[in-house]
Amino acid sequence: MKDLTRCVITPEVNTEGFKSLAVGVHRASTIVFDNAADYANRGARGPDGYSYGLYGTPTTRTLEAKLTALEQGARTFLVPSGQAANTIAVLPFLKAGDGILIADTAYPPMRDFADTDLDRFGVEVDYYDPLDLSDLERRINSRTKIVWCESPGSTTMEVQDLPRIAQLAHKHGALVGCDNTWATPINYKPLSLGADIVTEGLTKYIAEHSDLLLGSLTVRDERLVAPIRSTLGRLGISVSPDDASMVLRGMETLGVRMQHSSEVAMSLIERLQASEVVERVLYPALPTDPSYTVWQRDFTGASAVFSVIFKPGIANHVPSSLDVLQTFAIGASWGGTRSLVAPMPVKGHRSATKWAGDDLILRISVGLEDPQDLIDDIDAVLADITSRVRVDR
């Protein structure tokens, strides 16, 4: 063999006895075959075999298997983002003339996808009150193919009664999808409560380090596997094994991170609630929250993302007060090691329900910094807002 060829062809080394606790990063577009007959018969390897990098590598399959076990589902697919998980969860099951019913509190880009693309393709898009089963019952019809849930809802944190929603949807022959990014499968298992498809923004808590984007969808029933797999193939969607391995690494500590951050969140919430400028904190794990009963029944824990509503007329002071923050960063997304705040508008993202309060909610995500530094930050922001309100008066 000549040197130029040696540079290209990789020698095989002995891997016997190499059992690492880490998952190897297997990169591939091409998969090679031992002989021409194997190549010709590659279709016979089936979906669990390997034929082309687009359809999976041992690294991505490992993450999929881990998520399938946690979600208690039949099969998981990885996609490039949580938003992609949501769109791919519904695309294979809709055609012109069908209907989709979406919780009014769904992740705003999901609404945008439905209003722009599904509508353009002739799908009837409607929204329902996430807390009002009779509203859903009024809107569901024989054309409805999917009832989309997100629990708790984006920003306003309403927990849906998934078992009853699923019962109603299934009676009408519709599938139920649920975005589980807030709780993660550690704290909520939508598939065991009646959902047919569950999606995760792995980007958030499961990956944790604010350095990658990835999403997953898991189905309860084997019959949903083929339509999703073939849609992903036709659209040419696949994920990097490097990203998958980062998620596998991050998720080993998911349980302790969630436990810790939710406890710290509760102590920050107590401080916020005691402030004269705060009207209410939206967090289903609070016994005073309207969603507490259903949360307690269906969830085994909480994450550390919550929303703050200020007293009337105060919200316009909030954005400039965020400049006093020392430890919290200002930014979108959440669920990372770094604590984050983001002022969120709500009104423009609601159509089946009306948002009556000020159009600014402060979303807070608690990370892993020293709790005292976070408390000091919250105290400083509250003091700054209070002083601005006094000057205003």
Ligand X SMILES: *Cc1c(COP(=O)(O)O)cnc(C)c1O
Region 15-74 residues binding ligand X, contact defined as CB under 6 A:
none
148 binds ligand X (CB under 6 A): no
CB of 206 to ligand X, least distance (A): 10
Q: Which of 60, 203, 216, 307 binds ligand X (CB under 6 A)?
A: 203
CA 196-199-89 angle, 5° bins: 65
Closest separation in Å from C-beta 214 to ligand X? 7
Does 384 help bind ligand X (rule: CB under 6 A)? no
Choices 200-208, 223-231, 241-249, 355-363 (CB under 6 A): range interacting with ligand X: 200-208
Q: Which range in 42-50, 97-105, 196-204, 248-256 contacts ligand X by CB under 6 A?
A: 196-204
Residue from 89, 90, 213, 285 in contact with ligand X (CB under 6 A) = 213
Instruction: Answer yes or no whether residue 179 interacts with ligand X by CB under 6 A.
Output: yes
Does position 215 interact with ligand X (CB under 6 A)? The reply is yes
Measured CA to CA, the distance from residue 171 to residue 163 in angstroms comes to: 12
Does 129 interact with ligand X (rule: CB under 6 A)? no
> Looking up tokens 């996430």, which residue turns up?
130
C-alpha distances in angstroms, 302 versus 154, 173, 185, 186, 311?
A: 15, 32, 11, 9, 25
Q: Indicate the residue among 213 and 281 with the shorter CB distance to ligand X.
A: 213
Decide if 6 contacts 29 (C-beta within 8 A).
no
Lay out the site mask for ligand X across 297-336 (x = CB under 6 A, - = otherwise): ------------------------------------x---
Which region, judged by CB under 6 A, interacts with ligand X, from 43-51, 77-85, 169-177, 369-377? 77-85
Q: Are 42 and 34 in contact (CB under 8 A)?
A: no
Is 157 near ligand X (CB under 6 A)?
no
d(CA 258, CA 253): 9
Interior/surface letters 127-149, b for 16+ CB within 10 angstroms, e for the rest:
bbbbbebebbeebbeeebbbbbb
DSSP three-state, residue 9? coil
Binding of ligand X by 83 (CB under 6 A): yes
Element (H, E) at 171: helix 162-171
Three-state SS at 124? strand
Would you count residue 113 as binding ligand X (CB under 6 A)? Answer: no
SS in 3 state form for 317-384?
HHHHHHHHCCCCEECCCCCCCCCEEEEECCHHHCCCCCCCCCCCEEEEECCCCCHHHHHHHHHHHHHH
The residue from 82, 99, 185, 194 that contacts ligand X (CB under 6 A) is 82
Q: Does 281 bind ligand X (CB under 6 A)?
A: no
Q: Which residue number, 154 or 245, has a Cβ lying nearer to ligand X?
A: 154
Residue in the block written with tokens 């930050």:
377
Contact residues toward ligand X (CB under 6 A) are 81-83, 107, 150, 154, 179, 181, 201, 203-204, 213, 215, 333
